[in-house]
Amino acid sequence: MSKLQHCVYVLLSLKDHKLYIGSTSDLKRRLTEHFHGEFKATAYRRPFKLIFCEYFISKKDALRREKYFKTTAGKKGLRLITRESLIELSNQI
């Protein structure tokens, strides 16, 4: 049986309340990099909360899902999937 090795993840910026969508084969390492401001694209938007992740066997499938989530339809679907998390976090902010 193949391992689920590739992850699509979504971070919510607690600073600007926008989503960041990415993919990785090492979620723990990637989150550490985001949380410590090691990426220019996200450093100024810290802190973050991980609100969604989905694992895939195939890197190609993970990249396809990441690309979809970055489309208008994908963002809408993602907000539906994560709406309870978004509501809960908005009540904490």
For residues 78-82, average pLDDT: 92
Measured CA to CA, the distance from residue 90 to residue 93 in angstroms comes to 5
For residues 15-34, average pLDDT: 96
Q: Could you tell me if 69 and 23 are in contact, meaning their C-beta atoms sit under 8 angstroms apart?
A: no
Q: Could you tell me if 87 and 12 are in contact, meaning their C-beta atoms sit under 8 angstroms apart?
A: no
Query: Model pTM?
Result: 0.89
What domains sit in the chain, N to C, each tagged with a CATH number?
6-92 (3.40.1440)
pLDDT score recorded for residue 58: 96
